[in-house]
């Protein structure tokens, strides 16, 4: 007669392989779903308009923003300061470069100052979140409004034109048929991929999202990693602010309006889980392509902007539903 331990062992041996296969199969399916959606969208829209699928349709600003946001979501946190940080960076580059408001003309030093300002905003978000031990949602929400307030104050509530031709060339000049802004965004993607897959910081960010307590017990300085991740996100937001100012040829307080939703949508639709620990910048690239292709496709089909917003809302709900493992998620708050 079999003992209890033998019975349990037999049960595990027969049950676990099928269970593990199901889990791996489900995970693999979820990871490939965004790529399948992108392929289907590209096929359908190319049938409607054969000249549509071109690299120049890649949205440079959303891609750069989404790269920074990916690192925060990978930790299981959120960064709502996107629009405020972008607004500050755009304000800094316009006011320090040649413009129609003052006599400044610092050229590309203005670009570096703008990126630095975005990094500092992210650094402050990280410090506030970790040192005061408040949710990232509230810490970055505060930084969002601080950024908007600074922009309104410094710009005097009006739009200021960017007159520096070399910075404007980021949007106007082309290299190998693509705007320089697209090349900058692709460079940001490559940089983000190197950080995630080939640096200790990237591995620690992913580990924190997977299980912060275990990561802390493994000797990782979680506070330092969180601060670095928010600063890194601010760095990418700063680059996006420069690109936005170059594309519009000006800066105003609401230059970042709508950017947060687009960035979050791209990250989530690409397959990075809001609970953290799953996904990455490659997923986000696919997500940006899906959002861009879908938006441009609806424009080509003459769909109302209100319907477009509805479709985007449904898309992000579906993406979150597909990315969550609800078998393991026992409590939903």
- Which helix (H) or strand (E) covers residue 161, if one does? strand 160-161
Residue 158 has phi, psi (to 5 degrees) of -125, 170
pLDDT at 173: 84
DSSP per-residue letters across 112-142? HHHHHHHHHHHHHHHHHHHHTT--HHHHHHH
Supply the DSSP symbol for 57.
G
pLDDT at 76: 87
Strand partners, 160: 251
pLDDT at 14: 36
Contact between residue 279 and residue 270 where contact means Cβ atoms under 8 Å apart: yes
- C-alpha span between 184 and 165 (Å, rounded): 17
pLDDT at 273: 81
Q: Which residue has the tokens 């620690």?
A: 204
Pairing of strands 174-175, 178-179: antiparallel
Domain ranges across the chain: 58-323
- Listed in sequence order, the DSSP H helices in 57-107 are 60-74, 82-96
Strand partners, 250: 161
Q: What is the pLDDT along the chain (333 residues), one digit of tens a residue?
A: 444 444 334 333 333 333 333 343 445 555 666 666 667 766 666 666 665 555 454 688 889 999 999 999 999 889 999 999 999 999 999 999 888 888 888 888 999 999 999 999 999 999 999 999 888 889 999 999 999 999 988 888 788 888 888 888 888 888 887 888 889 999 999 999 999 999 999 999 999 988 888 888 888 899 999 999 999 999 999 999 999 999 888 888 888 888 888 888 888 888 888 888 788 898 899 888 888 877 777 777 777 777 777 877 777 777 666 665 555 545 444
- Give me the torsion for CA of 83, 84, 90, 91, rounded to 10°: 150
SS percent in the chain: helix, strand, coil, step 5:
75, 5, 25
State how far Cα 307 lies from the chain centre: 24
pLDDT at 5: 44
- C-alpha span between 229 and 93 (Å, rounded): 23
- C-alpha span between 103 and 241 (Å, rounded): 21
What is 58-323's CATH number? 1.10.3470
Note the pTM of the prediction, 2 decimals.
0.82
3-state class of 168 per DSSP? helix
Taking CB atoms within 8 Å and a gap of at least 24, the contacts of 311-319 are 312/261, 312/265, 315/265, 315/269, 315/291, 316/264, 316/265, 316/268, 316/269, 319/34, 319/265, 319/268, 319/269, 319/271
Q: Which residue has the tokens 């985007």?
A: 312
Contact between residue 180 and residue 174 where contact means Cβ atoms under 8 Å apart: yes
Residues, the chain: 333
- Which helix (H) or strand (E) covers residue 251, if one does? strand 250-251
């Amino acid at each position: 007669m079999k003992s209890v331990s033998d019975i349990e062992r037999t049960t595990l041996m027969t049950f676990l392989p099928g269970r593990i296969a199901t889990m791996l199969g489900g995970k693999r399916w979820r990871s490939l779903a965004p790529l399948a959606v992108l392929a289907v969208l590209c096929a359908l829209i190319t049938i409607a308009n054969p000249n549509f699928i071109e690299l120049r349709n890649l949205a440079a600003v959303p891609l750069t923003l989404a790269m920074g946001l990916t690192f925060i979501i990978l930790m299981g946190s959120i960064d709502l300061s996107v629009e405020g940080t972008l607004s500050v960076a755009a304000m800094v580059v316009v006011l320090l470069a040649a413009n129609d408001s003052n006599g400044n003309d610092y050229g590309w030093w203005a670009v570096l100052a703008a990126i630095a300002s975005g990094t500092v905003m992210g650094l402050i978000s990280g410090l506030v979140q970790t040192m005061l031990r408040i949710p990232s949602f509230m810490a970055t929400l505060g930084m969002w409004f601080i950024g908007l307030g600074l922009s309104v104050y410094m710009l005097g509530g009006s739009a200021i034109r960017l007159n520096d031709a070399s910075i404007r060339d980021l949007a106007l000049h082309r290299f190998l048929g693509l705007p320089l802004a697209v090349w900058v965004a692709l460079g940001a993607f490559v940089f983000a991929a190197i950080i995630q897959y080939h640096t200790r910081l990237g591995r620690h960010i992913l580990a924190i999202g997977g299980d912060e307590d275990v990561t802390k017990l493994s000797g990782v300085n979680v506070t330092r990693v969180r601060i670095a991740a928010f600063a890194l996100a601010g760095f990418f937001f700063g680059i996006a602010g420069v690109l936005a100012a170059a594309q519009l040829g000006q800066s105003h307080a609401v230059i970042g309006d709508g950017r947060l939703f687009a960035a979050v949508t791209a990250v989530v639709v690409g397959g990075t889980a809001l609970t953290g620990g799953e996904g990455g910048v490659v997923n986000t690239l696919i997500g940006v392509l899906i959002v861009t292709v879908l938006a441009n496709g609806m424009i080509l089909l003459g769909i109302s902007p209100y319907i477009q917003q509805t479709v985007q809302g449904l898309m992000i709900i579906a993406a979150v539903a597909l990315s969550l493992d609800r078998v393991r998620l026992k409590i939903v708050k």
